[in-house]
Amino acid sequence: YGFLYSTGFECITEKHTNKGRMDLLVITPNKKKYIFELKIVSDEQKGKSIQQVIQKEYHKGIEGVHIIGIEFNPQTRDFYIFTES
């Protein structure tokens, strides 16, 4: 959040929808939009961040949004990144 905000991007944390809250919505100066969903997961749960955005329809009503799921596995200390447009 801090890095993105310091670059001049508009950052909205915990944006509420009628089905839950997205972790972070970022809008760039040229109006590109990104939803970030962050999760701590085990190996069996990979992809859970993107699934949550789609199931809870966080992207509905936001035209041209890109979805980015960032997941961390504390057992293996690995990061997983998933994207969808």
pLDDT tens profile 18-39: 899 999 999 999 999 999 999 9
Q: Which sequence spans correspond to the domains of the chain?
A: 2-84
Better-predicted residue by pLDDT, 42 or 24: 24
- Show Cβ contacts of residue 10 under 8 Å, excluding neighbours closer than 6 positions: 26, 27, 28
CATH 3.40.50.1110 fits 2-84, yes or no: no
Overall average pLDDT of the 61-85 stretch: 92
- Report how far residue 13's alpha carbon sits from residue 25's, in angstroms, rounded to the nearest whole number: 6
Task: Read off the tokens for 57.
Answer: 């329809």
Q: Is the pLDDT of residue 1 over 80?
A: no
Better-predicted residue by pLDDT, 16 or 2: 16
Buried b (16+ CB within 10 A) or exposed e, 49-81: bbebbeebebbeebeebebbbbbebeeeeeebe
Q: Is the pLDDT of residue 84 over 80?
A: yes
Q: What is the pLDDT of residue 32?
A: 94
